[in-house]
Chains A and B, each alone.
Chain A
């Protein structure tokens, strides 16, 4: 990504930082052991978030994400995977959209972006439960 240093649109700083400098973008090679995937959203709703968590010894050892949507939903994806690192499934299951909103300073009219994140994480945990 190129150097975007300014934020003329007035996004909250935590959103802007993750939108402009997202980490862990991509996916694991097919067949990587311990990987669960969770996806939420729809193209029609103009936001899709896909999270991948690689578990090792009962904790998240590595993460990937991809997102299609507004800067807030992209930031949600980036935040969740960073936050997930080192956590157990039980700790992950405790995440609520309200916490996401607080961490990223997501405004009321973008509350759905936080719910997108919670839904994607839940979908991943459902996958984890199914494979373990």
Chain B
């Protein structure tokens, strides 16, 4: 099995596991980090160390990191929290059609509460321009939410150019940076983003933990979404999962140390994969290649049916645009937003590479994809017709 689905999730780094294990058992720091006794303080220290590690990767202060259960919760807290703090009456949000489902669904929920939402359509290359965002602003716009790197096509949005423009206009800026953290340099001291979501399991940390960066100067104010004991400065109640948090911290520290090397490794393999696949006629790379994150390559294959394509590659773990591989039974809405028709969106594969990916794996994966696409086209009466009519 060749695993090329690192944008979905990554295996835990063994070094991270070693940090996590002693935080679970009686002979380690299992205590509640909110407890005011020796073991509690020890657990608290592990949490605060991790807070500093996470902050360091994104150029933040430790006090600006709020622990969550993952990016879905971070995105919910950022968007609903900001809107509810301000009051949803007459409020307006600007986001894009290619955001992660958890952002879109949160916005849809807020629409039921009376919030107006503008869903910007990106260009054919997947980029939402800062000018588009500015044009969509109204005096009621409370928040803009855009992802730094799109999870399906790997396009890097112009969030660094947009952030100061929104700051000038007094509009909060939330960025889902799940696919950017550990892949691109992020420095929130230099980029005035107000709220930024990150997750541990996309960069070799554990599943079930994430964080929301909440800027302190100027302070981004949020209404809590989880009520309780007032943990995390009242923004997110619930006993802190010390082992998960420490694991996230360790993963972020490793990511910071390896950022440049990881990015070079990933981009090299992504380019190799694209180069190999291009022996196939009539394939399309999705997303602007000039604004591509290092770890994602999304390709549409003309003339093959998506489910058959996926099924013909059982030895390859990749994400498919095929309706039948997703819970929603609809072709990728991201590719549809880029203007790909249902058929082409369906016949698309997202390859995402990771630290463990080798050039040999990429060569094998490319060879398998090429062989199966050629076979399915050979099998197809439509492709043969096209060939006879001289279109192919």
- The residues of A with any CB-CB pair to B shorter than 8 Å are 1-2, 4, 6-9, 11, 19, 22, 25, 27, 39, 43-44, 46-50, 66-71, 74
A69 close to B311 (CB less than 8 A):
no
**Out of B304, B312, B315, B324, which one reaches A6, CB within 8 Å?**
B315
Measured CB to CB, the nearest residue on chain B to A71 is: B311
Known: A4-B312, A46-B305. 6 other contacts (CB 8 A): A2-B368, A4-B314, A66-B380, A70-B311, A71-B307, A71-B311
B277 interface residue (CB < 8 Å to A) = no
A-contact bits for B339-352, CB 8 A (1 contact / 0 none): 00011001000000
Cα(A68)–Cα(B383), bound, Å: 9
Complex Cα distance A73/B304, Å? 13
Compute how far the CA of A16 lies from the CA of B323 in the bound complex, rounded to whole angstroms.
19
Are A2 and B371 in contact, CB atoms less than 8 angstroms apart? Answer: yes
CA gap between A22 and B303 in the complex, in Å = 19
Residue-wise interface mask of B (280-319) relative to A, using a CB-CB cutoff of 8 A (1 in contact, 0 not): 0000000000000000000000011111101110110000
Chain A residues whose C-beta falls within 8 Å of the C-beta of B376 in the assembled complex: 68
The answer to whether A11 and B311 touch across the interface, beta carbons within 8 angstroms, is yes
15 contacts between A and B (CB under 8 A): A1-B375, A2-B372, A6-B314, A9-B310, A9-B314, A22-B379, A27-B384, A48-B380, A66-B381, A66-B384, A68-B303, A68-B376, A68-B380, A71-B308, A74-B308
**Distance, CA A43 to CA B378, complexed state (A):** 16
A4 CB contacts on chain B under 8 angstroms: 312, 314-315
B24 at the interface (CB under 8 A from A): no
Q: Are A68 and B381 in contact (CB under 8 A)?
A: yes
Inter-chain contact B381/A69, CB cutoff 8 Å: no
A68 engages B382 (CB within 8 Å): yes
Q: Is the CB of A46 within 8 A of B311?
A: no
- How many whole Å from B336's CB to the nearest CB in chain A? 15
The CA of A7 and the CA of B311, in the complex, are separated in Å by 8
User: Which residues in A have their C-beta under 8 angstroms from that of B371?
Assistant: 2
Give the 6 A-B residue pairs with the shortest CB-CB distance, closest first: A68-B380, A66-B381, A50-B381, A70-B307, A71-B311, A68-B382
Docked pose: A8 CA to B383 CA in angstroms = 27
Chain B hits for A70, CB < 8 A = 305, 307-308, 311, 324
A62 to B278, alpha carbons, bound, how many Å?
Answer: 37
A73-B342 Cα distance, complex, nearest whole Å: 18
Say how far A37's CB is from chain B's closest CB, in angstroms.
Answer: 10
B305→A19 contact, CB < 8 A: no
Complex CA gap A66/B342 in Å reads: 22
Most A CB contacts (10 A, CB to CB) among B368, B376, B381 go to B381
Which B residues are CB-close (under 8 A) to A7?
314
- Report A79 CB to chain B, min CB distance, Å: 15
The CA-CA distance from A11 to B308 in the complex, in Å, is: 11
